[in-house]
Amino acid sequence: MTRHIDLRSDTLTQPTPAMREAMAMAVVGDDGYGEDPTVTRLEETFATLVGKESALFVPSGVMANQIAVRVLTRPGDVVIAGANQHLVSFEMGASARNSSVQFALVDDSAGQLRVDDVLDIIDAENDHQAHVAMVAVENTHMFWGGTPWDVGRLSLLARAVGERPIHLDGARLFNAAVATGESLRDLAAPATTLMACLSKGLCAPVGSLFAGPASLVHAARVERKRLGGAMRQAGILAAAGLVALETMVQRLEEDHVRARALAEMFALAFPESGYDPSSCRTNVVSFVHPQARQIVYELTERGIWGQTVAPRRVRFVTHAGVTDDDLEFANGVLESFMSLR
Ligand SMILES: *Cc1c(COP(=O)(O)O)cnc(C)c1O
């Protein structure tokens, strides 16, 4: 195979040697009986990190989000979310299927939600409209270039919605923490419940964590079982998750630096996109281009693998499998690509 750099997703990361060793040595039990000490340790470690009472280990980020909707809503309720959030666009309609809720979508093109947009939808309850049960936010916002929320804005939103719960889709919350310098605890504080993925930039093979108040995590445990996500000797997986939390967070900074370098290259190669590389603050390079599918196809043929996430929107993601040498290679490919056009 000719040389290539795989920027399709940070889910492509491989477990590290330390993870494989921890997995081999993990003390395990049946988590269905609450008897896997490694799972319990992972859940407690995460809950402490994000400043919540309790946490639950689940097989995937989608399941964590779906559990959140299940525990925070009743059928027919409204969920406020950004129009391009994962929960809305990338979960195969699961919230409708699993929880019979409807979305009220607000503009999220700045990577964040505007407080007034959210309040308007809540206020519509006074005009005989359906009950708004929760607000969902995403940090970092994948679709809009991995944008981290401003924590002040998120706190403002939380105060404005009052008792109404906020669920934070923090698939890349660790990236947000590293990029903004805020603590995980501060980023999580405005949210009632949250989830974070271990299997993306942190390189664990499987798993996400859901966290919140003990009563909701208790309910989440039931929903996890209903969705078929209760696991047995899952400490094998949780052991890798612990290594991820303990050793893999700070290195995300490298992914961010490389993403910015790539962003500069793409902005130069595709000036017609109007892409501003300084908008790349974490590990996602994403921009709009009229020939997005064609670009992805042609770059893939030349060894830069990416993908489209919507018509006319391309995405390239950096991760632990990408080196500075790979960036040199990508730069060479993009330069020769430019000279062709
Ligand atoms: C990847 C992702 C998810 C889902 O995680 P999976 O583990 O792939 O199910 C949810 N939200 C966002 C923002 C994501 O990027």
Check which CATH number belongs to the domain holding 259 and give it. Answer: 3.90.1150.10
Residue that is written with structure tokens 């049946």 in the block: 30
The protein residue with its alpha carbon nearest to ligand 1, atom 4, reads: 61
Residues 169 and 22 in one domain: yes
Name the residue range of residue 291's domain: 5-12+251-339
Q: How far apart (Å, rounded) are the C-alpha atoms in residues 95 and 93? A: 6
- 199 Cβ closer than 6 Å to some ligand 1 atom: yes
Pick from 169, 193, 227 the residue to mutate for probing ligand 1's pocket: most ligand atoms within 8 Å of its CB: 169
Question: What separation in Å is there between the alpha carbon of 24 and the centre of ligand 1?
Answer: 26
Residues 189 and 104 in one domain: yes
- Of 283, 317, 259, 42, nearest in space to 177 by CA: 283
CA 288 to chain centre: 20
Q: Is 133 helix (H, G, I), strand (E, B) or coil?
A: strand
Phi, psi (degrees; rounded to nearest 5) at 87: -55, -30
Share of the chain above pLDDT 90, in %: 98
Q: How many domains does the chain have?
A: 2
- 68 Cβ closer than 6 Å to some ligand 1 atom: no
The protein residue with its alpha carbon nearest to ligand 1, atom 3, reads: 61
Confidence bin at 340 (pLDDT 50/70/90): confident
Domain final residue pick, 247, 278, 306: 247
Residue 339 has pLDDT above 90, yes or no: no
pLDDT in tens, 43-56: 999 999 999 999 99
DSSP 8-state code for residue 16: P
Q: Pull the structure tokens for residue 332.
A: 């060479």
- 112 Cβ closer than 6 Å to some ligand 1 atom: no
- Whole-structure pTM over 0.75, yes or no? yes
As a whole number, mean pLDDT of residues 318-323 equals 98
pLDDT in tens, 223-258: 999 999 999 999 999 999 999 999 999 999 999 999
Residues 180 and 76 in one domain: yes
| Confidence (pLDDT) at 338 | 82
As a whole number, mean pLDDT of residues 311-335 equals 97
| Confidence (pLDDT) at 1 | 60
- 111 Cβ closer than 6 Å to some ligand 1 atom: no
- 62 Cβ closer than 6 Å to some ligand 1 atom: yes
Q: Which amino acid is at 263?
A: A
Instruction: Assess contact for 205 and 241: CB atoms under 8 A.
Output: no
Q: Which amino acid is at 201?
A: G
| Confidence (pLDDT) at 13 | 98
Residues 234 and 277 in one domain: no
- 15 Cβ closer than 6 Å to some ligand 1 atom: no
Residues 231 and 120 in one domain: yes
Residues 204 and 155 in one domain: yes
As a whole number, mean pLDDT of residues 183-201 equals 98
Q: Which atom of ligand 1 is nearest to the CA of 63?
A: 9
Domain final residue pick, 196, 223, 247: 247
Q: Which atom of ligand 1 is nearest to the CA of 85?
A: 13
The per-residue DSSP string of 235-249 comes to: HHHHHHHHHHHHHSS
Residues 304 and 199 in one domain: no
| Confidence (pLDDT) at 337 | 84
Residues 216 and 264 in one domain: no
Instruction: Assess contact for 231 and 203: CB atoms under 8 A.
Output: no
- Of 328, 326, 288, nearest in space to 310 by CA: 288
